[in-house]
Chains A and B, each alone.
Chain A
Amino acid sequence: MPKTIPVPDALDKPFWDAVNEKRLVLQFCTACEKLQYPIKADCVHCDVKGQLEWKEVEGKGHILETLVVHDTRVVRLKGDVPFNVAIISLDEDPDINFLANLPGTPVNEAPQGAAVEVVFEELEPGRFIHDWKVVE
């Protein structure tokens, strides 16, 4: 799928730099000891500011549910419908969830609850994005 290409900013550049190295690095609040994704300026779990650090995670998760997109406003993806959009919970912290297209899994065949692992797709030379793939 021709995913749109994320444009890093100053805040999330470390995250995308890690993705380009095929690593998944999330924010970690040292005050409340919670992971955070997507990347934000402040911790969404507690009121303490300035305590966010970067922490690499293993990249294993499970499928919560899978939607199937039949019509999309995202013009770049119009030629790829229908496609999966799964919601993945991270094993290291199930409150963290990601979107995934489940490459290799046909639509309407995504096994609910299945184990998945992070994969990295190259969108432009040297620019990667994370996705999640069902573990066989």
Chain B
Amino acid sequence: MTSSAGGFPRYAEGMGLWEHRGKVAVVGYGYSEIDRRWDGVSMDRTLGAFQLAAMQNAIEDAGLTAADIDGFMCSEAMAGDSWAQEDRGDPRPYFDPPYDSEDGLSLTSADWLIAGMAREGTPLSNLQYIDRNQLAIGQETGKAAQVVGDGQANVLLMTYNMGNVPGRYKLEEGDYSEGARKWSAPWGWMTSAMMQHAFVFMQYCTKYGGSHDDLAPFVLNQRRNGLLTPWGYYAQHEPYQITLEDYLTQRYICWPNGLLDSDRPVNHAFAMIFTTAERAKDMKQKPIYVLSHVQASHPTKSTMATLEDHEAFTDSLARRLYEGAGARPEDLDIFNPYDGFATFTQSYLEGFQWHGVKRGEAFDFYAGDIRVEGPHPFNSSGGNLGCGRTRTAMYTDSIEQLRGTAGARQVTVRAETAAMGQVTPGGNGHIFLSVHPQI
């Protein structure tokens, strides 16, 4: 992993306090409606339409107009499943502009989004900074904070989406394997974090004891928190709680990873607005200050990363994020680590030592009271498992908890700081937020 002292990405150990700690603030957020898939017909429910709505909602939440935005950031990289995916193969019809190509339907470019805002009467007419190449929201939020701290933008609108279209998700067809896939696909290794994390999870159980079923309290609580998230997929479309029996009898995809351990792809978009702490003082919303952000990108040294690797990665991640914020584990109130598969979230929980949880203690912690109204409201967002694979519930929840607007999910313990991130221990970005400009 290369290092960078200052700037972005922030990979290095020993960087000390983030140079812009408390000088950047989150002042708005917005999200779209949510569907399991785009239906191929409804033009008001395309990924592009959803993303424009999320951006407009964020601007409104911040009490701004589109003309106030001078920075724009998005992730053009296809994060979900697009019809344009090369191996899908089946051609499809397009429509009248602006849907005369895939752009706007199941993926979105910066140009399409900016043109769409103008088309809808909310032109981003004062953009001075445009960044279209962020990988995913974990990295993107950190980059957004850094750009504002560095003075490249004063009011930055950041947006992210996850798409899903009809059919099986990312099939791997063909008789031959090329490139990196030749080292994995022949033995049935899928392009997914699922198998990597199932392997590390088994090493975890071997080392510390326990089994797959010890994840049940966590997964059930994620669904419960998701059902308390009004916009989430399950709250909107499948509003019922899963039971312990459901969990223990679930269909396995790749043992020990089952269907209920896996997030479900959805069609959804999100946006967030960052500005300087100075500008935030007089704005509509109470400022949520950014105290730190860090990223990680660890090459895999052989075919598979191991438990030892993941523990080292998440130890480093937590150490660097806390150091940048000038915080200790006991200072972190709200913690929304990633849960794309239930099998790896404990790596973050233990790495950050949230509520004193050390290596090997996650299963006992899960078996305790982790409900939002209890003493250890772990992952109060419900995450992807509770809200669908938006990757953004951990951000909306963290902001709402710190604003005190989380409704039925509002925790009863102190909620002045929050940390959240995405994606996996091997590659991710995390951010530390606070209602105060310093701890």
Contacts and interface: CB of A to CB of B under 8 A. Distances in A.
Contacts of A5: 175-177, 186
B312 to A, nearest CB: 13
Interface stretch (B50-58, B154-162, B189-197): B189-197
Contacts of A1: 188
A112 interface: yes
Contact of B188 (A45, A64, A72, A112): A72
A74 B172 contact: yes
Contact of A99 (B187, B251, B257): B187
B303 A37 contact: yes
Contacts of A71: 251-254
Nearest to B205: A65
A44 B299 contact: yes
B303 A99 contact: yes
A69 B198 CA distance: 11
Interface string A1-23: 10111110100100000000000
Interface in A49-100: 64-65, 67-77, 80, 82-83, 85, 87, 95-100
B178 A7 contact: yes
Identify the interface centre among B177, B182, B186: most chain A CB within 10 Å of its CB.
Answer: B186
Contacts of B172: 73-75
Nearest to B87: A75
Identify the interface centre among A44, A67, A101: most chain B CB within 10 Å of its CB.
Answer: A67
A12 B202 CA distance: 31
Interface residues of A, number: 42
B302 A69 contact: no
A112 B195 contact: no
Contacts of A82: 255
B191 A45 contact: no
A37 B176 contact: no
Interface in B245-303: 251-257, 299-303
Contacts of A44: 299-301
Given A4-B175, A5-B176, A85-B254, A72 B301 contact: no
Interface string B214-257: 00000000000000000000000000000000000001111111
Contacts of A80: 188
A57 B202 CA distance: 27
A101 B199 CA distance: 14
Interface in B394-433: none
Contact of B206 (A3, A7, A74, A112): A112
Contacts of B168: 73
Nearest to A100: B187
A49 B169 CA distance: 38
B303 A73 contact: no
Identify the interface centre among B185, B192, B300: most chain A CB within 10 Å of its CB.
Answer: B185
Interface in A109-129: 112, 129
A38 interface: yes
Contacts of A45: 301
Contacts of B299: 44
A73 B170 contact: yes
Interface string B118-159: 000000000000000000000000000000000000000000
Nearest to B299: A44
Interface of A: 1, 3-7, 9, 12, 36-39, 44-45, 64-65, 67-77, 80, 82-83, 85, 87, 95-101, 112, 129, 131
30 contacts: A3-B187, A5-B175, A5-B186, A6-B183, A7-B176, A7-B178, A12-B182, A64-B306, A67-B199, A67-B202, A68-B254, A69-B255, A70-B254, A71-B251, A71-B252, A71-B253, A72-B188, A73-B172, A73-B190, A74-B172, A75-B173, A82-B255, A85-B189, A85-B195, A87-B199, A95-B301, A97-B304, A99-B304, A100-B187, A129-B186
Q: A-B pairs with the 10 shortest C-beta distances?
A: A6-B182, A3-B186, A99-B187, A38-B183, A65-B202, A68-B255, A4-B177, A7-B178, A97-B302, A75-B173
